[in-house]
Copies of this chain bind each other. A is one copy, B any other.
Amino acid sequence: MGSAAVRDRMLAAGQRITRQRDEVVDALERARRPLAAREICDAVAESNPDVGRATVFRTLHALAAAGIVQRVTLAGGRPGYLLCEAEGHHHHLVCTSCGRTIDLPESAVTPFLTGVEEAHGFTVDHSSFDVHGRCASCR
């Protein structure tokens, strides 16, 4: 696994460390930007052609459940997977130019959601924001 922290979080979630999961994490670490499922399959197949597609999806699911990977929406509306330093659920700004992402601190999001809940009598269970644009270095 990429790091001991990642390893521990997988084990803590009752999940096992396998060769295949290593490959998926490695692919995401090398990219340092969100990848489409297809890109992950291709990257993994390059170092180990025997890894099945189903395993890649299962791994992404397991990594997301452990809070290691976040599912984001790429420009064009297609889903992508992102390996994050930050732990737990959070939101991202996605640069349409360089493809990199910026973590959005929860402190910026919580007041907004609270306001929405109060204004509409709505209880938020889950939220995910797709914010696309240009990062500071791409302007």
Docked-complex contact A134 and B122, CB < 8 angstroms: yes
The copy count of this chain in the complex is: 2
Contacts A129-B127, A136-B122; A71 near B79 (Cβ below 8 A): no
A10-18, A25-33, A43-51, A110-118 - the one binding chain B: A110-118
Is A126 positioned at the interface, with any CB of B under 8 Å from its CB? yes
Is A131 positioned at the interface, with any CB of B under 8 Å from its CB? yes
Contacts A79-B77, A129-B129; A120 near B134 (Cβ below 8 A): no
The number of chain A residues with a CB under 8 A from chain B is 34
Is A9 positioned at the interface, with any CB of B under 8 Å from its CB? no
Is A55 positioned at the interface, with any CB of B under 8 Å from its CB? no
A86-110 Cβ-contact flags toward B at 8 Å (1 or 0): 0000000101100000101000100
Docked-complex contact B77 and A93, CB < 8 angstroms: no
Docked-complex contact A122 and B133, CB < 8 angstroms: yes
List B contacts of A121 (CB < 8 A).
135-136, 139
Q: For the complex, what is the distance from the CA of A127 to the CA of B104, rounded to whole Å?
A: 14
Is A119 positioned at the interface, with any CB of B under 8 Å from its CB? yes
Q: For the complex, what is the distance from the CA of A8 to the CA of B93, rounded to whole Å?
A: 36
